[in-house]
Amino acid sequence: MFDLKDKIAVITGGGSGIGKATAQLFAKQGARVCIIDLDAIAAADTVEAIAKQGGNANFYSCDISDQQQVNQVIDRLVKVDILVNNAGIAHIGTASTTSEANFDKVYRVNVKGAYNCLHAVLPLMVKQNNGVILNVSSIAALVGITDRFAYSMSKGAIQAMTFSVARDYIDHHIRCNCICPARVHTPFVDNFIGKNYPGKEKEMFDKLSKSQPIGRMGTVDEIATLILYLCSDEASFITGCDYPIDGGFIKLNN
């Protein structure tokens, strides 16, 4: 099950966290993985780890907010069977405390970056008359999260784009879904806590972990496993859906 042999999978933000775990899992299942990441060193480390496991991967250093750069990368690929729009950034702030510069930055990376990848990949999938797209959204698209105005905006846009693409391309046998994780323990989270809550790292980590009713953050492997399922042929009847993976956050928090 979940065989990706001979599939070409493009994964943005594959140098670390959820993207890295997904890239490694896809390669293990037989996919040729193409990692797009602004951090060339991290992406190279992922490719090396995959090679040590006997997998097939390469990487492209690319700013996904720059459409020309994205087009140049995708133009080098013969085909794309799977696109995982995973790359993104976070931001703390309300509507009144978020600066225009920070709002624009979150929009450029999280929203325009995903659009740029869709814009480049979809014509290939239409030509193939087949393809799968998985967008990484967030529970912030579904419920109100304190001090996450710009981030929530961007993830709400990801969810809306998912439904639109699923509807527009269903006749071309292209499926598009998104997942909505709660907090997942990644290096990004550790760096985020260290930057925004210096001296209170353990306290904030425990607080954020316990905000999920299950009592902990998710793991990158748990998220990658759901992504694998939704991108596999076993999920061929699923399109236009959003999947919370949240330790009970949405339904069980009172």
Residues with catalytic function: 151
Distances in Å between the Cα of 71 and the Cα atoms of 64, 67, 74, 113, 131 are: 9, 6, 5, 12, 18
Instruction: Using the structure block, give the residue that is written with the tokens 């799977």.
Output: 82
Task: State which H helix or E strand residue 99 sits in.
Answer: none
For residue 31, which of 12, 67, 3, 63 has the smallest C-alpha distance? 3
Q: Tokens at residue 39, please?
A: 């951090």
Q: Is 9 helix (H, G, I), strand (E, B) or coil?
A: strand
Strands (E) across the chain are located at 8-12, 32-37, 56-61, 82-85, 131-136, 174-181, 242-245
Q: Which residue shows structure tokens 């799968």?
A: 132
**Alpha helix (H) ranges present in 75-185?**
100-106, 113-128, 149-168
Let me know how long the chain is: 254
Angle between the N-to-C axes of helices 113-128 and 149-168, in degrees from 0 to 180, rounded to the nearest 10 = 10
DSSP bridge pairs for 93: 148
How buried is residue 94: exposed, middle or buried, by Cβ count under 10 Å (0-12/13-18/19+)?
A: exposed
